[in-house]
Structure 1
Amino acid sequence: MLPDLLKPNLKIVFCGTAAGSVSAKRGFYYAGPGNKFYPILHKVGLTPYQLKPNEFSKLLKFSIGLTDIVKNESGSDDSLNNSAFDVESFKEKINRYGPKIVAFNGKKAAAWALGKKGRTGKVEYGISDKKIKGAQVIVLPSTSGAANGYWDERKWIELAELFDKS
């Protein structure tokens, strides 16, 4: 759906589940109404100003990359086919580009990447003791407006602290 935004040795790569319907239509990551991705990046200090969705490619200047674990479907997590979750391709990208941190924007992608077969109840928010191809893993509350009930910016502050140390 959306092209990966990756280059070697980034400090952080954000991994979402899949492009939402609005993002897929517009061609920009995290473009849905109510999505908190760009505001929270700025609020916790990962970007010096708040980017707009159509400026997502500027994230590379701040050592931030983007990908999704599902690249051939779009929509809400519940609408995706289990067969669309391409964990091996995701891990190959992490191995190839070697980011210091992999940050999952929501539990669903993390639950697949960490071998839990999408069972989000088996994944905790925060810094994980697991690594993916040498990268530190952190699971963050989703920035999607549809996930407002799970929002907790404290985990995003933890990410910013981890980013500063890397």
Structure 2
Amino acid sequence: MTAATGHHFARPGNRFWPVLHLSGLTPRQLAPAEQEELLSYGLGITNVVARATARADELSAEEYREGGRILTEKVERLAPRWLAVVGVTAYRTAFGEKKAVVGPQDRTIGTTRIWALPNPSGLNAHWTAASMAEEFARLREAAGLPDLRAV
């Protein structure tokens, strides 16, 4: 769906956009076609691996590692304060951190801190939208960003 629409997390049922709002990172639930609006909230969005698939397990470990290398270069160039990687398995594979868990990571890229977030895919059923929103809100608070639901 992402490849077809050109928008991240565009598959119906993906919980990314609702969770982003529930966490207070956006003042309302955005549609995938509104992803550019994230910039106005101090947020950006990109892929670890550029090739679109229906399921994350369709990507090879080598694709993740190469994606991690490319993402590292991008982060070094842009120097954001935080990098949030959606999907702890993607983070583990892309950055060679086999024991990483959801939450803040010890690794940094330059001065950029890293946070691994749960994957919002409907296939990741052991995380509810509410529990994912709590984790996204933990990152929002650590980053010193306001709760935009209250605005």
Q: TM-score, normalised by structure 2?
A: 0.84
Supply the distance in 2 between the matched residues of 1:138 and 1:91 (Cα, whole angstroms): 14
Identity in percent: 31
Structure 1 residue 39: Cα displacement: 1.2
Please say if residues 61 and 93 of structure 2, whose CA atoms lie closer than 8 Å, have aligned partners that are also in contact: no
Where structure 2 has 5 or more consecutive residues not aligned to the other structure, the ranges are 147-151
Give the paired residue count: 141
Structure 1 or 2: larger strand share?
1
Aligned residue type for 2:24: G
Residue 139 (structure 2) aligns with: 159
For 2:91 and 2:108, the matched residues in 1 are separated by 11
1:148, distance to aligned residue in structure 2 (A): 2.0
Give the partner amino acid of 2:95. L
> CA 1:58–1:124 in structure 2 vs 1: closer, same or farther (change >3 Å)?
same
Which amino acid in the other structure matches residue 29 of structure 1?
H
Between 70-79 and 95-104, the greater mean CA deviation after superposition? 70-79
RMSD: 1.8
Structure 1 residues not aligned, in runs of 5+:
1-21
Q: Secondary structure at the match of 1:124?
A: coil
2:113 matches 1:136: yes
**Equivalent AA in structure 2 for residue 137 of structure 1:** I
| Alpha-carbon distance, 1:82 to partner | 2.5
Which residue number corresponds to residue 48 of structure 1?
27
TM-score, scaled to structure 1: 0.77
Alignment correspondent of 2:54: 75
- Matched to 2:35, the amino acid is F
